[in-house]
Copies of this chain bind each other. A is one copy, B any other.
Amino acid sequence: MNRPRIFRLLLVALLFSTLELSAQTLADRLGYPAGTKLIIVHADDLGETHAVNAAAMKALQLGTINSASLMVPCPWFPEMADYAKAHPDADFGLHLTLTSERVYYRWGPVASADKVPSLVDENGYFHHDWEPGEHINPKEVELELRAQIARALAMGVRPTHLDSHQYRLIMNGKELFDVMLRVAHEYKLPVFVNRDWFAAYPYLEASLGPGDIILDHTVTIEPEVPPEKWAEFYLTALKNLKPGVTEFVIHPGYDDEELRAATRERPSWGAAWRQRDFDFFTSDQFREILAQQKIQLITWRELVRAAAAK
């Protein structure tokens, strides 16, 4: 056996071990048996409207939605802060919010508007959307994130994680992601990221360190799924679930007057959409497929505890 051949074999072995390592799931690293399938059933947008709060509180009580995050700048945040204080074991993160995406119902920053001019429109609300080329000042983002966290803490919320409303802080470049990550590290909070995003947004992986919790996968429904295929979409995702920790990012809400009025300019993530999410994730069908597929529920609180114990 000549040296070059040995080197080539070693190289191949090394390559495999690297692949092996990167294929190792968060669940493996947290000590779950190989192949364990864990999901966080995570409700987004709490605090935005009462219809979303009420549906989330009901689903949390039923137990099949086990995690959620709160929009601090929104007018119904105090209702959720009150609930969080009364339910200190609930798994609530902060849904860091930099947009006010609806038309008839809007909100603005927690920081003083004159301190975050790049984040607000001419009427003082967060931008409805970020136009291409919109300059969002990362220093102002940091100020606003800190203001949101400070208000939540002052109002008695003890968040278990941070995530980003409309993924603005995830999918808009390294600079904004790094702001979020820096603030998260300072507060010793995990940020919701998963490996599936690394190919499209390589700066995520570049910025994250060995101390960060990285989920394996995300499942979230998109406007392309027609209403009558809602349950089928989720059932298929659950049947095909890969091992590791998957966050189901869902948007439960009640299809009532308030939510219909607040979201009436477009059906995506609207009132009927949110009712469908509520209906599926509180259904017997959902409970049954979890049992059938041996899928376990896990929360951010448990992930953090397990990661700290390692």
- Cα distance A261–B261 in the bound complex, in angstroms: 16
- Cα distance A274–B114 in the bound complex, in angstroms: 36
8 Å CB contact of A107 from B50, B75, B115? B75
User: Please, which residues of chain B bring their CB within 8 A of the CB of A114?
Assistant: 112, 114-115
* Among A51, A77, A110, A124: residue with most chain B CB under 10 A: A124
* CB pair A124 B151 closer than 8 Å: yes
* Among A74, A76, A107: residue with most chain B CB under 10 A: A76
* CB pair B123 A105 closer than 8 Å: no
* CB pair A50 B262 closer than 8 Å: yes
- Cα distance A122–B156 in the bound complex, in angstroms: 13
- Cα distance A154–B122 in the bound complex, in angstroms: 8
Q: Nearest 4 A-B pairs (CB), nearest first?
A: A258-B258, A79-B104, A112-B112, A112-B114
* CB pair B257 A50 closer than 8 Å: yes
| In the complex, residue of chain B having the shortest beta-carbon distance to the beta carbon of A49 | B258
8 Å CB contact of A75 from B75, B78, B254? B75
Q: Given A115-B114, A123-B151, do A51 and B257 touch, yes or no (CB 8 Å)?
A: yes
- Cα distance A49–B259 in the bound complex, in angstroms: 12
Q: Given A76-B105, A123-B154, do A112 and B110 touch, yes or no (CB 8 Å)?
A: no
* CB pair B112 A51 closer than 8 Å: no
Is A256 part of the contact surface with B, judged by Cβ < 8 Å? yes
CB-contacts of A7-31 with B (<8 A): none
User: Please, which residues of chain B bring their CB within 8 A of the CB of A113?
Assistant: 111-113
Mask, A47-68, CB within 8 Å of B = 1, is: 0011101100000000000000
- Cα distance A256–B54 in the bound complex, in angstroms: 13
| In the complex, residue of chain B having the shortest beta-carbon distance to the beta carbon of A121 | B154
- Cα distance A53–B105 in the bound complex, in angstroms: 11
- Cα distance A155–B104 in the bound complex, in angstroms: 12
